[in-house]
Amino acid sequence: MNRLEALKSMTTVVADTGDFQAIIDYRPQDATTNPSLLYKAAQMPAYRELVEDAVLHGTRHGGGDSQAQARLTMDKLAVNFGTEILNVVPGRVSTEIDARLSFDTEGTVRRAEALVELYEQAGIDARERVLFKIASTWEGIRAAERLERQGIHCNLTLLFGFAQAVACAEAGVTLISPFVGRILDWYKKAENVAGYPADEDPGVRSVTRIYNYYKRHDYPTVVMGASFRNLDEILELAGCDYLTISPALLGELASTEGEVSRRLDPDRARALDIPRVGYDEIGFRWELNEDAMATEKLAEGIRLFTADTLKLERFAREINQSA
């Protein structure tokens, strides 16, 4: 048995891509997208029709308002890709909310509701098959809490710190995406080291801590490890609820034979002595502030996703102008 199939026996494997062919090749349960992945996929000739359809939607419904046209185009593009992905995965797709709304609770709720409507127009039951990705800011978590009460399920992303994970669980979100590789990047630079043994990888330790805390206190929120730099990080988190993995690393797993040992186990986690904690807004902001890595990587992640959203908007405008 190859390692990908072995991993699937204990963890739900999710494809971290907007490339439909890669999804078909590795047969994941779910798929995740983000502005960076959509920008890359949108430039592939095979997906040109999806981009052109989104541009047409924005032009038709945005009136003469260029900002409205851009927003509607981006929403339709995300839904077009999401709909196509749902044709090839049996589970769910995660669709990103505009990162520029990361500190706007009301704006995030409205945008998610608009995306639900677009999915429903495309014949997709968004409440069953779509997770809306929202940055794990205080405002984003509050938006997710409201959306979950409406039956609109959320994937809280750009999660780097324990306080973020606790707040998400208390808010009742469906799923969180704690990042692994970006945490490793920060610590390698901060501590001026080339790397760490797999079981001492700071990103692996962060996800393990969150997983154990959730299981110990019976939170139903799904833990989906994300942002991997190498196979060792993935294998050290075998047994995690979900892992979202790039096509390159999925390919490496599929091409290597061998057993995969369970590293995370709910029964072992429930036996641990881990005190329960909670944060109000003041406590959350203080704990996040005290965690330099989480503070810096959250801010950086929002900036990077925003930059790729702007690139995607420019690309769509160029297509519109050339039409």
Give pLDDT tens digits for 219-260: 999 999 999 999 999 999 999 999 999 999 999 999 999 999
Q: Does pLDDT of 269 surpass 90? A: yes
Buried b (16+ CB within 10 A) or exposed e, 179-208: bbbbbbbbbbeeeeeeebebeebbbbbbbb
pLDDT value, residue 65: 85
Mean pLDDT of 307-311: 94
CA distance 14 to 275: 31
Structural domain tally of the chain?
Answer: 1
Q: What is the dihedral of CA 235, 238, 240, 245, to 10 degrees?
A: 50
105-119, 205-219, 303-317: least confidently modelled range: 303-317
Q: What is the pLDDT of residue 73?
A: 93
Crossing angle (nearest 10°) for helices 105-121 and 138-149:
40
The pLDDT value recorded for residue 297 is 99
What pLDDT, on a 0 to 100 scale, did the predictor assign at position 55? 93
pLDDT of residue 308: 93
- CATH number of the domain to which 290 belongs: 3.20.20.70
pLDDT at 323: 60
Between helix 105-121 and helix 66-86 the angle, nearest 10°, is 60
- In terms of average pLDDT, the best of 11-20, 47-56, 209-218 is 209-218
What mean pLDDT comes out for the span 70-90? 95
Provide the domain limits for residue 21. 3-322
Give yes or no for residue 9 having a pLDDT over 80: yes
Question: CA 27, CA 13: separation in Å to the nearest integer?
Answer: 9
Active site residues: 133
pLDDT one-digit tens code per residue, 280-292: 999 999 999 999 9
d(CA 283, CA 292): 15
Determine the average pLDDT of the residues in 11-17.
97
| From 125-129, 245-249, 301-305, 314-318, the region with the lowest mean pLDDT | 314-318
- Residue range 67-77: average pLDDT? 92
The average confidence (pLDDT) of the chain is 96
